[in-house]
Amino acid sequence: MKNSKPFKPGQWVLLLVYWLYVAIPLAWGIWSTLRKAMVLFN
Amino acid sequence: MPGFFSKQRITASPDYNRWLVPPAALSVHLCIGQAYAFSVFNEPLTRVIGGSASAPDDWKLTELGWIFSLAIVFLGISAAFGGKWLEKVGPRLTMFVAACCFGGGFLISALGVFLHQIWLLYLGYGVIGGIGLGLGYVSPVSTLIKWFPDRRGMATGMAIMGFGGGAMIGAPLSVLLMDHFQSTVSVGVIETFLTMGGLYFISMTIGALTIRTPPEDWRPEGWKPPVLRNKMITHRHVHIDQALKTPQFYLLWLVLCLNVTAGIGVLGQASVMIQEIFKGLVTPAAAAGFVGLLSLFNMGGRFFWSTVSDYIGRKSTYFVFFAVGAGLYAAVPSVGMTGNIALFILLYAVILSMYGGGFSSIPAYLADIFGTRYVGGIHGRLLTAWSTAGVLGPVLVNYIREFQIAQGIAKTDAYNVTMYIMAGILLLGFFCNLLIKPVHEKHYMQHDEFDELDGAYPLDEYRNTNPSTLTKTAS
């Protein structure tokens, strides 16, 4: 069975960019929803 | 040389970082999750001709409601029929076709609004967009399970959480774009559809281009399949067609359908329900906030519960959903009567987290029972349970409520019986889950079986040690 080998350094940069690419819109969506939800506690 | 979209072309090298795969899946799921925010277009679409107010020739809300319903129906149909195709062609082509359908659906719908032809919206967003939804939903699931054999639940939970998060992006984005594009002559829907169609096509295509499948015999660094195996987790494979001949498939279908029926029914009524139960205390704006909060718990539950299922097992996780869920539903009427809004919100938050968890834990449950090889296709077929529950849940809640009001019961109390019925539905799910046992030996793929899907035999130790026994080859 093959196991994964150590990652190339460039992959860490790619990893960070790619996760930010999906995390930023998601965080914006969550923030928008939370702001709306805050009305409930006012 | 394999084609650009072929399975062989996207097989990763052993040094590929598997954490690059979840963002590829999220690129698709965050887009298609927009479907649950489609209702933000309903009101502007009722005044396309009139502008500031509806004109007699404008579309009615009842006509527009069919767009979303069609999309969900075609999600189920395409996932059921496209699952087998996905296993044959691989995730890249499936995700790209999903991108074309979902993005294209928006463009056709924009044309429909421009020509004021409702059938173009049915065809565009409803049928073609719905096909994109179904294909996009199932396409990364089996790939994630193969990359994360040690954390199947968490991996699929990440992607399916994206579907929940997609609505949270889609709703404010749509409002923002419509506000930007609206003018004295346009409500801004055409331009918004065109922009969103383009954005979603690009994002989903990025996912399709970056998705990678692991080499056939790949395993995470240092991970070995447990020697003392859990009887509920198989390391063999059941063929996609053979899965339909097992009682386990239908029991899992019921498990998903019953869990979703209970959740989806109250989710659609949450805003009206909290305002009627706490009359005078909860304003419409606060009720909208309540729905938003439930969406957050629905999304968070998808990740949380599927990750928990990796530790306590899939069957135990569903036992928690059904037993705790039934108890919470049964407690809602009493909490409503006490007037404790905070506790009421907490109950619903937990209920909705388990509703989301039901969606995200099911692919790993399927992989445990039927093996990982055809889990994408089998999952696609199981999603017909979602379509069924999508109709059953709201109809059940609305019908019971209307019936009670017609009997003279106060609106405040009209939800009590509904909650007890939902608790009963979850108890039924508990027993379905109880009946799930490992698949009978006869259903597993045998070593001499020809796999017509991709012309290959399951790669295992047997193949490595007995190559001469393989008599059939791919044509």
ipTM: 0.87
Domains annotated on chain B, with CATH: 1-215 (1.20.1250.20), 232-444 (1.20.1250.20)
Rounded Cα distance between B285 and B272, Å, is 11
Answer whether residue B458 shows pLDDT above 90: no
Give the helix ranges, DSSP H, for B371-383.
375-382
Residues B190, B110: contact at Cβ < 8 Å?
A: yes
Question: pLDDT value at position A5?
Answer: 56
Interface contacts A/B by beta carbons within 8 Å: 106
Q: Does B144 touch chain A (CB under 8 A)?
A: no
A-contacting residues of B 214-243, CB under 8 Å? 215, 217-222
Q: What is the pLDDT of residues B312-352, one digit of tens each?
A: 999 999 999 999 999 999 998 888 888 888 899 999 999 99
Contact A42 B20 (CB under 8 A): no
Q: Is A10 on the interface with B (CB under 8 A)?
A: no
Could you tell me the two tokens for B239?
């063929």
pLDDT band at residue B266 under the 50/70/90 scheme: confident
To probe the interface with A, which of B13, B18, B21, B26 has the most A CB atoms within 10 Å? B26
Interface contact A39-B288, CB threshold 8 A:
yes
**Contact across the interface for A4 and B14, Cβ inside 8 Å:** yes
For B256, the token pair is 């998903």
Best of A2, A4, A11, A24 to mutate (most B CBs within 10 Å, chain B):
A4
Q: Which of A4, A8, A29 sits opposite B169 (nearest CB)?
A: A29
Closest chain B C-alpha to A39 CA, distance in angstroms: 5
Task: Round the CA-based radius of gyration of chain B to a whole number and report it.
Answer: 23
Q: Is the confidence at residue B467, as pLDDT, over 60?
A: no
Q: Say what the pTM is.
A: 0.86
Q: pLDDT tens, B127-178?
A: 999 999 999 999 998 899 989 989 999 999 999 999 989 989 999 999 999 9
Query: Which positions 156-195 of B are in contact with A (Cβ < 8 Å)?
Result: 162, 165-172
Using a CB-CB distance cutoff of 8 angstroms, which residues of chain B are in contact with residue A11? Answer: 16-17, 20
Choose the weakest-confidence range: A16-30, B84-98, B304-318, B398-412.
B398-412
Q: Helix/strand/coil (H, E, C) string of B313-347?
A: CHHHHHHHHHHHHHHHHHHHHHHHHHCCHHHHHHH
If you measure CA to CA, which chain B residue comes closest to A30? B168
DSSP character string of B191-219: HHHHHHHHHHHHHHHHHHHH--BPPTTEE
Band (B460; pLDDT cuts 50, 70, 90): very low
Q: What is the mean pLDDT of chain B?
A: 87
Residues of B in contact with A40 (CB under 8 A): 282, 286-287, 289-290, 293, 345
Helix axes of B152-181 and B21-32: crossing angle, nearest 10 degrees: 40
The alpha-carbon radius of gyration of chain A (Å, integer) is 18
Q: Which residue of B has its CA nearest to A7?
A: B15
**B79: nearest Cα among B155, B17, B132:** B132
Residues of A in contact with B345 (CB under 8 A): 40
Q: What residues of A are in contact with residue B218 (Cβ under 8 Å)? A: 1-4
Which of B:248-307 have CB within 8 Å of A? 282-283, 285-290, 292-293, 295-296, 299
